[in-house]
């Protein structure tokens, strides 16, 4: 009785049952399996070996391999089995774990299709074109066969749907690199960067994974009308870190601070006694500041503006006016330049006073001197 019951049990497999079997023979289009606790052999068709296309069964299994299989169909002569379905079920368990933990994993791109990439994960995974990179890709043909890192961004077992993203991994890596850079960067540090984009108020420079702003006032020692007058996108530039706001991820940079100062070697360019042309930049009560070199202003003291007595510089000068000046004194270290406008002007006729007369004529009246001259002329 027990022997009859055992015979019924071992032959009572149904479609969907899990069985364990050993490969006894590998044929071209199928594999013969010795199924545990079954009096009949199992047949594993080549189409059920893998979720991928298989040219020959020997590429996947060998004689003696022990396999976990699923019964697809029960026939009188044999059990029709599937390895592909078991692999897929096992894969789903692993994929669900990776999805929940947002684990990053690598896989090979098996095919390029319309709208994206196909990846074999034991089941079919799809990477939409928009989730391949964090930039636009026109042609994906060279992605086939490449191994990329992915995250699962959508998983639906019932619909057999798995959406992967390589872009998410790239963005996470950039974010981590950005944070590391923010933590390491220091004020006054000098770095090399690349101009990424220009705005009306300055230039954004990539300094290795994070952009910093070079305000328009920090582009040059000279006055800048618009950033494109000084730099263009793609330029390699040296920048100095002015400040780092780690909370708001903002970095202020300066190109100007890395350039030679306008006062450097100014004593050679503006030697005492030399005559320069400049622009009146500012008028103050005690004189006028005149820019004679880019970023270099000198003071024309009120006493050096005109031979005439003036109450304020505004009487004879205005801002923006072009003037010629003579260099009186240069102090490069203190960034001081003394200039004169008066020294380049001819002295106008002034009323002759007693101290203007020759020594021998002092004590005589001017009228007497002129009278004597006239008498001499009449002789």
Q: Residue 251 falls within a domain, yes or no?
A: yes
Q: Residue 112 falls within a domain, yes or no?
A: yes
Q: Residue 319 falls within a domain, yes or no?
A: yes
C-alpha–C-alpha distance, residues 21 and 138, integer Å: 48
Residue 199 and residue 237 in one domain: yes
Q: Residue 2 falls within a domain, yes or no?
A: no
Q: Residue 138 falls within a domain, yes or no?
A: yes
Residue 107 and residue 166 in one domain: yes
Task: Give the model confidence (pLDDT) of 280-296 as tens digits.
Answer: 999 999 999 999 988 88
Q: Residue 369 falls within a domain, yes or no?
A: no
The residue behind tokens 């991994």 is: 169
pLDDT given for residue 89 in this prediction: 84
Residue 141 and residue 111 in one domain: yes
Q: Which of 258, 282, 301 is a domain's end point?
A: 258
Residue 140 and residue 95 in one domain: yes
Residue 332 and residue 277 in one domain: yes
Residue 97 and residue 137 in one domain: yes
Residue 277 and residue 254 in one domain: no
DSSP-assigned beta bridge partners for residue 73: 80
pLDDT given for residue 330 in this prediction: 92
pLDDT given for residue 55 in this prediction: 82
C-alpha–C-alpha distance, residues 44 and 85, integer Å: 12
Q: Which of 54, 82, 110 is a domain's end point?
A: 82
Residue 73 and residue 118 in one domain: no
4-13, 191-200, 201-210, 285-294 — which is least confidently predicted?
A: 4-13
126-135, 170-179, 288-297, 361-370 — which is least confidently predicted?
A: 361-370
Confidence band of 178 (pLDDT split at 50, 70, 90) = confident
Q: Which domain holds residue 305?
A: 266-344
Token representation of residue 125: 């995974």
In the three-class reduction of DSSP (H, G, I as helix; E, B as strand; rest coil), residue 4 is classed as helix
Task: Give the model confidence (pLDDT) of 234-254 as tens digits.
Answer: 999 999 999 999 888 899 999
Average pLDDT rounded to a whole number, residues 50-75: 87
Token representation of residue 70: 């699923």
Residue 232 and residue 276 in one domain: no
Share of the chain above pLDDT 70, in %: 88
CATH of the domain at 76: 2.40.50
Residue 99 and residue 76 in one domain: no
Q: Are 266 and 305 in contact (CB under 8 A)?
A: no
pLDDT given for residue 39 in this prediction: 82
Task: Give the model confidence (pLDDT) of 23-41 as tens digits.
Answer: 999 998 899 999 988 888 8
User: Could you please report the per-residue DSSP string of 70-117?
Assistant: EEEEE-SSEEEEESHHHHHHHHHHHHHHHHHHT--EEEEEEEEETTEE
Total number of domains in the chain: 4
Residue 166 and residue 207 in one domain: no
Q: Residue 190 falls within a domain, yes or no?
A: yes
pLDDT given for residue 361 in this prediction: 44
pLDDT given for residue 233 in this prediction: 94
Q: Residue 376 falls within a domain, yes or no?
A: no
CATH of the domain at 303: 2.40.50.140
Average pLDDT rounded to a whole number, residues 336-355: 72
Residue 254 and residue 307 in one domain: no
């Amino acid at each position: 009785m027990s022997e009859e019951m055992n015979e019924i049990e071992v032959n009572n497999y149904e479609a969907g049952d899990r069985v364990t079997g050993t490969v006894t023979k590998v044929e071209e289009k199928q594999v013969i399996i010795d199924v545990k606790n079954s009096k009949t052999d199992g047949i594993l068709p080549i189409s059920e070996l893998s979720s991928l296309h298989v040219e020959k069964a020997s590429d996947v299994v060998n004689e003696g391999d022990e396999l976990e299989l699923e019964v697809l169909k029960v026939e009188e002569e044999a059990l029709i089995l599937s390895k592909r379905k078991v692999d897929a079920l096992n894969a789903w368990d692993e994929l669900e774990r990776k999805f929940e933990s947002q684990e990053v994993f690598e896989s090979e791109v098996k095919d390029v299709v319309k709208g994206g990439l196909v990846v074999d994960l034991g089941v079919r995974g799809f990477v939409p074109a928009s989730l391949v990179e964090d930039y636009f890709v026109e042609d994906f043909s060279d992605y086939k066969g490449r191994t990329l890192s992915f995250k699962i961004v959508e998983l639906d077992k019932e619909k057999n749907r798995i959406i992967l993203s390589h872009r998410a991994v790239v963005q996470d890596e950039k974010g981590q690199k950005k944070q590391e850079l923010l933590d390491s960067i220091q004020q006054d540090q000098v770095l090399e960067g690349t101009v990424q984009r220009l705005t009306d108020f300055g230039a954004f420079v990539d300094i290795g994974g994070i952009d910093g702003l070079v305000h328009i006032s920090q582009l040059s020692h000279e006055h800048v009308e618009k950033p494109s007058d000084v730099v263009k996108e793609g330029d390699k530039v040296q920048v100095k870190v002015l400040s780092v706001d780690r909370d708001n991820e903002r970095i202020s940079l300066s190109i100007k601070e890395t350039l030679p100062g306008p006062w450097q070697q100014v004593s050679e360019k503006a030697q005492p006694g030399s005559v320069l042309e400049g622009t009146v930049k500012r008028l103050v009560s005690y004189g006028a500041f005149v820019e004679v070199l880019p970023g270099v202003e000198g003071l024309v003291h009120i006493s050096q503006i005109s031979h005439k007595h003036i109450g304020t510089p505004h009487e004879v000068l205005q801002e923006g006016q072009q003037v010629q000046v003579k260099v009186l004194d240069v102090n490069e270290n203190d960034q001081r330049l003394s200039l004169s406008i008066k020294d380049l002007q001819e002295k106008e006729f002034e009323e002759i006073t007693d101290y203007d007369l020759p020594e021998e004529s002092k004590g005589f009246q001017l009228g007497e001197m002129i009278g004597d001259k006239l008498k001499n002329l009449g002789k």
